[in-house]
């Protein structure tokens, strides 16, 4: 899974790949101050420059 920060302009920025183990996923990252939304997508293990699959989860920050 890949975590994305999405500011008000809607342009996703990768916040990194999430490490999974069983039913758990974790990631340590610094969030940018302009992030309005976090999104999670299923991406290849090496990550993607932009999301290539539908958003699995959305977490509004504002």
59 pLDDT tier (thresholds 50, 70, 90): very high
DSSP string, 17-36: EPEEETTEEE---PPPTTEE
Q: What mean pLDDT comes out for the span 50-55?
A: 97
pTM, entire model: 0.87
Q: Quick one: what percent of the chain has pLDDT higher than 90?
A: 69
Residues 6+ apart with CB under 8 A from 45: 17
């Amino acid at each position: 899974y890949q975590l994305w920060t999405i500011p008000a302009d809607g342009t996703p920025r990768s916040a990194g790949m999430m490490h999974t183990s069983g039913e758990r996923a974790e990631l340590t990252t610094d969030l940018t101050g302009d992030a309005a939304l976090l999104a999670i997508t299923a991406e290849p293990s090496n990550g993607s420059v932009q999301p290539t699959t539908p958003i699995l989860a959305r977490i509004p920050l504002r």
